[in-house]
Amino acid sequence: MPENKGLLILSKLQLFVLISVFTLFSPVFSFANEPVSEHKTEVKADTTAAHENHEISATEHSAAGHGEQHGEAVEAFNPGKMILDHVKDAHDWHILDYNGHPVGVPLPIILYDNGLHVFSSAKFEHGHAVVEIKGNFYKLHDGHIYKTDAAGTIEIGEKKAVMNAKPMDFSITKNVLALFIGAALMLFIFLSVAKAYKTRGKAAPKGLQSLVEPLIVFLRDEVIKPSVGKHYARFLPLLLSIFFFIFINNLMGLIPIFPFGANLTGNIAVTMILALIVFVVVNFSGNKHYWKHIFMPDVPVGLWILLIPIEIIGVVLKPFVLMLRLFANITAGHIIILGFFSLIFIFGQKSVGAGLGASVLSVAFTLFMSVLELLVAFLQAYVFTLLTSLYIGSATEEHHHAEDHH
């Protein structure tokens, strides 16, 4: 299989950018993995504002009406909270705020806790209400559903970790709904194209055919076939599905109106499942030469103790890097665009003139990054598919050592 030097340079460059972005935004990514402390401090819903810091208690504070009672100023714009609310998953689909009230699409809540409980996320009133179902009480806090008492007690540990028990959550969240929409869109596109081929035969492509066919032919002839080798047809449906799944959902994430705009391919769980699929396919398709190269490499036996662990690490590291690259690049793009957009409100808090002045540069940079994200949407799908093809090709490649000596 010929070496692709351009790919090697691109992979090294992307790995450098990946590490840099992950390092810069690692505090942001850590919100989903907060540690649980063993020390408990009971915090009541109606007294949270008096005992916790402003960031934790802002929601509870407004719900209890303390801000109005004490005459406090309206909460300042928090760009970090706004960006995280747009990037992470949610139990409803927020669209806009109207007269200070959030407007969105409620989604189904499906909990299993001594039985199956199904209800609408609208009952949580965006985290301000406690929902009672068959004697159990549930509260939405910081994007997660917890069991509470009738008063909505949230127990906070020393490290601000919630100590309440969690029910098993099978809810249709924003990302799950976006996944269904993306799957439906893919089915519509490819079933329509397949039907057109059946009815039109070898006639010149029209409509969706003319859009999809060049991409499929390009991927087949320039990416999959050269990388996988003569067994490419066996893996062609999988690799095309991976490419179009990532590409279509990347594009959907760039459209800032419902039912689009979800950060599906920037969700680590989604990219992890894609990476696991690649890991399973590569290793279950590997021939005896692939496994011999890992556990019995063609080097002096004394070096096996060094090379075998490296090869095993490489087997796991390849899909891990695929997962991390897609997650970090897509999430970083959303964060950068929202960061530029936030400048309007940050400067607008100082004065109306500063906000208007900042809006010119903010909108210009946001449009530039949005156009750049269109390229990234294709590039990330292309790189994921290309590297997956190379991994499959290396696992199924036939051994030519014996032929080279004749």
Give residue 163's pLDDT band: very low, low, confident or very high (50, 70, 90).
Answer: confident
Residues 149 and 142: their CA atoms lie apart, in Å, by 17
Among the residue ranges 125-129, 168-172, 322-326, 381-385, the one predicted with the least confidence is 125-129
Write the CA distances from 126 to 96, 239, 337, 383, integer angstroms. 13, 40, 25, 39
Residue keyed to tokens 């806790």 = 113
CB 200 within 8 A of CB 206: yes
Retrieve residue 103's tokens: 């407007």
pLDDT at residue 242 greater than cutoff 90: yes
Query: For 79-118, what is each residue's pLDDT tens digit?
Result: 778 888 788 888 888 888 788 788 888 999 999 988 899 9
144 has which bridge partners? 141
Residues 277 and 388: their CA atoms lie apart, in Å, by 10
pTM for this prediction? 0.77
pLDDT at residue 185 greater than cutoff 60: yes
111 has which bridge partners? 117, 169
Position 348 scores a pLDDT of 83
* Average pLDDT across the chain, whole number: 79
